[in-house]
Structure formats: C-alpha cells, structure tokens
Amino acid sequence: MAPTARNAAVKKPTPAEIKGQIEEIVAEIEELPPERGDELDGLAERAAELIGKLHARSRKAPRERIDAAYKVAKERTQDGRQLVKPSNVDTAEYPAECLPLIAKAVEEVRQGIQHSRQLDGIVETIGNTLLTIRLKIEYKGLPDIKGDRQASRDAAAAVWTSVAVDMDDVDKAEVASLQQRVWQEAPNILVRHIRALNDNREVYAEEFPDIAKRFPRLEPEKAIRKAYGEVGIKIPDKTRAEVEKARRNLSPIARTRKSVDRLTSGVDKYTPDQAREILDEVDDLVGTLVKLKMDLTARTSGK
C-alpha cells in the first residue's frame, strides 16, 4: 500500500540522514568566514538538536566533530565579532593612497547612519569602498581582496573608529549594527565585483595587472581564482543566497553523496572509537542503499 500524505509527513529521518545533516553543518562551520562569526552559535545549536535525535551510543563522534570545528571557527571568527574596534591604527602598515578612501568610507558610514531607510544601498556602497581599499594592500603578492592581512583590518578599523569624530550624538549600537551588515555582505560584494570584471577588462587590468599578464587567455574571473588558488587563498564563487539556493535544490541522493565525501576526506582524523561508531552506521547505510537499489530496479522493470 502506498504511504498516505499523513504518514509521509510524519516520517522520521534515519540516523544516516541525521548524521548527513550534521556533516553539512560541520562543513558550513569549517568554511565560515570571519565576517559571519555571529552565525556560529546558531549553527552549533542546530547541530546539538540533531545530535539529540540520535541514539545515545551514536552521539559521541558527531559531538566531537562539532566541538572541534566550533573551536577552530571560534578562534578564526573572533575578529569578525568585535564590532567597533579601538583606534590603534599604524598608517605605515597600509599605503598612503588608502587615506582618501578611508575618509570617503567614513563619510559614507555617516550618511548611512543619517539615512537608515536606504540602508541596503549604503551597505553596498561602503562595502565597495572597503574592497577598493583592500585592492591597494598586498598580501602574498596579490591584492588583499579578502582582508586577510592585518593592514587591511587596520584600515577598516580606521573607518569605524573615525565615524564619531566631529559628529554629535552618535549611537554606537547603530554604528555597530551597520558595521556588522557591511561585514556580512563583504563576501557577496567580492563575488559580484569579480564577476563584473568579465565585462570590464580595462578595470580588471588596472586592479589585477599581474594576473592579467600571466593569464591573458583566461576570462578575468577564472584567472583571479586560479592566481589566488595557487597561493592557497580560496575566493568564494557564489553569494550566500546562491549557496543557500544550491543547498535547497540538492536531491536527497546528492546530499547523501556530499556527506559521504566529507566523511571520506576526514578518515585520517578519526579516533578508533569514532571510526568504529561510523563503521556501524556505514554498515546500516550500505544495507539501506542495497535495498533502495533493489526497489528502484524493480520499479524500472515494471515489477
């Protein structure tokens, strides 16, 4: 008998499916950039809820996976969680040509505070100016477009700590909120900026002259990703909205395959206890997949 809509609605996920969801959260935590540090606790809470749905004997390994990823991400995102930083900026750390851009960004922030109804546009404007500043700062022989170098962070700090100067009744919470919005949008702005260079090679050659000369036959976006990848810097290729959409559109089999790929790549990190626990689940999953294959084969043959 085919399952009713009601039965389908209350069907509980299997332990393998739950562990797959946990692995997706682990991957998201591991890839979480500093500017999204405020999302870390929420991800950990989602994982904890999923772990609680597992049998007690199956909780240890995923809990250790989450704890390890959380600890590393916490240290990596700490800077992104400090909103209004103290003014301790050594201008010698970044080029003098950044100074007028810093002043421009300060004015844009002030405008943003005064015209909060147009906040989305202001966030984009400020984010683009901060990206222009990072383009002037070198890191690993390339423009520091992700803001990895301390000089880029100092330049950004100079913007936010200068906002209140000569400005009466500044709401620090409002400044902090705007700063957080800009940080969160930074990866999306970077993705859009790099894509736009495909249609503007003149700007591309001006911003990334060395890359343009090294890879004259590649389109700008591909050349930039290749050059940064060679020095160990991963440049995002999708906006956050695009990542979420792709995740939602994954088929159940694709999500399972993605989770299995992550488990496979991390085999050498497991303790013997973790390996044994995962092995039990793998045996269960193999059995489930074999039965699924038989059922699907029967369906295709019309039986």
Contacts of 200 (CB under 8 A, 6+ apart): none
Predicted local confidence at residue 302, as pLDDT: 64
Predicted local confidence at residue 187, as pLDDT: 92
Q: Look-up: residue for tokens 């004259």?
A: 216
Residues of the chain under the 70 pLDDT cut: 1-11, 34-38, 76-92, 116-118, 165-170, 250, 302-303
**How do residues 270-285 score in pLDDT, each as one tens digit?**
888 888 888 888 888 8
pTM above 0.75, yes or no: no
Residue ranges in the chain assigned as alpha helix (H): 5-9, 15-30, 40-51, 60-81, 98-114, 119-135, 150-162, 172-196, 201-207, 209-214, 220-230, 240-249, 252-265, 272-300
Contacts of 270 (CB under 8 A, 6+ apart): 61, 278
**How do residues 19-48 score in pLDDT, each as one tens digit?**
888 888 888 888 777 666 667 777 888 888
Tell me the CA distances in angstroms from 47 to 29, 61, 118, 192, 227, one per residue in order: 10, 12, 36, 31, 35
Whole-angstrom distance, CA of residue 124 vs CA of residue 129 = 9
Predicted local confidence at residue 68, as pLDDT: 83
Contacts of 22 (CB under 8 A, 6+ apart): 47, 50, 51, 62, 65, 66
